[in-house]
Amino acid sequence: MPIITDDKEYKGVWCYGEVRHGNLVPTIYELIHVAKGLNETLKEDVSAVLIGHGVSDKAQDLIDHGADKVYVMDDPIFENFVDEIYTQAFTELILKEKPNKLLLPASTIGRSFASRVAVTSNTGITADSTEMAVDADTRVLRATRPAFGGNLMATIVCKKHRPEMVTVRPMSFPRAEKQDGRQGQIIQVPVDASQWKQRTKFVKFEVNQEDVQDIATAEVIVSGGRGVGNAKGFEAVHDLAKLLGGAVGASRAAVDAGWIEYRHQVGLTGRTVRPKLYVAAGISGQIQHLAGMGSSDVIVALNKDPEAPMMKLATLSVEGDLFELLQATIKEINRRRG
């Protein structure tokens, strides 16, 4: 594919709708929200792309959330996500339809998929973006992401190749709102896999057998920090999270100390979360932690230091020993539930 100096034949902002085990991953609504924002400058169409098996019935929902068009590739070959197959399908569609900007979720699948699609479409990609804007004169996308371990924010542009691709960090943006009955176009894309190459195959999917949720999607997160003291100290955090049907989060200090795995880390170099309730137990509330959870609806801080930044930020700040407070909360919930 040639280097693009004139992007006028590339039009529209596309959002990839990831489907996992037959369900649409809600990050697509965040992507549509971002796309609509970019479109205020671009004034082109916002489209969504669905690839999967039995996914056609999800197209109208994406229109209701703000997509003008939905491209659907619905075929048994897409039953399970396999990078090579999905990449060939998506690349063919991109080369044919020529979108201008392309947003994908920075999920585990999205990261792997997007980088392959960028290579096969011969274009550039900014990974894990948390901020995006379009330059009004050049129509170039400016995608910002944390760089050098979060020590600086880098704004990246892709000047000469199209589409400009970005993976968007889940939970970094609000979701597009639903408007029932919106009009849009659903385009069923014919699937011809006869020329596609496949060297890997899907074997099986094993669900992580944890009794608490993943922080990425949980509506309640109970997080522990250095104040928890050691790995055993996380048991009380875990007990409350389990009781509330939520997830266990952690500060980087706790993760770096080896008390809990990295996938629980909230913050600039961890994950961004936006739960309805975030309980911060023994977390001081440094800026890098707040960057990952500051948009939570309700924040409860449990800390023995009333001057800790988290205590100032929280909706409800409780001063005291976190273990005593967690145990008292668990006891009270159990009492009320009988």
Ligand X SMILES: Cc1cc2nc3c(=O)[nH]c(=O)nc-3n(C[C@H](O)[C@H](O)[C@H](O)COP(=O)(O)OP(=O)(O)OC[C@H]3O[C@@H](n4cnc5c(N)ncnc54)[C@H](O)[C@@H]3O)c2cc1C
The binding site for ligand X (CB under 6 A) comprises 149-151, 225-227, 251-254, 265-270, 282-284, 286, 288-289, 292, 302-305, 308, 321-322
Rounded Cα distance between 106 and 167, Å, is: 5
Amino acid at 225: G
Shorter beta-carbon distance to ligand X: residue 88 or 251: 251
Min CB(103)–ligand X separation in Å:
23
Q: Per DSSP, what are the bridge partners of residue 266?
A: 271
Min CB(255)–ligand X separation in Å:
8
In this structure, are residues 191 and 73 in contact, taking their beta carbons and an 8 Å threshold? yes
Min CB(221)–ligand X separation in Å:
13
Min CB(260)–ligand X separation in Å:
11
Shorter beta-carbon distance to ligand X: residue 51 or 248: 248
Min CB(108)–ligand X separation in Å:
18
- Longest Cα–Cα distance of the chain, Å, equals 68
Min CB(246)–ligand X separation in Å:
18
Shorter beta-carbon distance to ligand X: residue 121 or 284: 284
Shorter beta-carbon distance to ligand X: residue 123 or 130: 130
Shorter beta-carbon distance to ligand X: residue 94 or 293: 293
Shorter beta-carbon distance to ligand X: residue 149 or 338: 149
Rounded Cα distance between 203 and 31, Å, is: 30
Cis peptide bond upstream of 306, omega within 30 = no
Catalogue the E-assigned strands of the chain: 13-17, 19-20, 23-24, 46-52, 69-74, 101-105, 125-129, 131-134, 141-147, 152-156, 164-168, 185-188, 220-224, 247-250, 277-281, 298-303, 316-319
* Cα separation values, 215 from 91, 156, 211, 219, 278, Å: 32, 28, 13, 8, 11
3-state secondary structure of 49: strand
Rounded Cα distance between 80 and 26, Å, is: 18
Shorter beta-carbon distance to ligand X: residue 159 or 312: 312
Q: Given phi > 0 = left and psi -120 to 50 = alpha, else beta, which region is 320?
A: left
Rounded Cα distance between 58 and 52, Å, is: 11
Min CB(300)–ligand X separation in Å:
13
Shorter beta-carbon distance to ligand X: residue 124 or 309: 309
Min CB(313)–ligand X separation in Å:
12
Q: How big is the CA angle at 332 (ends 328 and 333), to the nearest 5 degrees?
A: 120
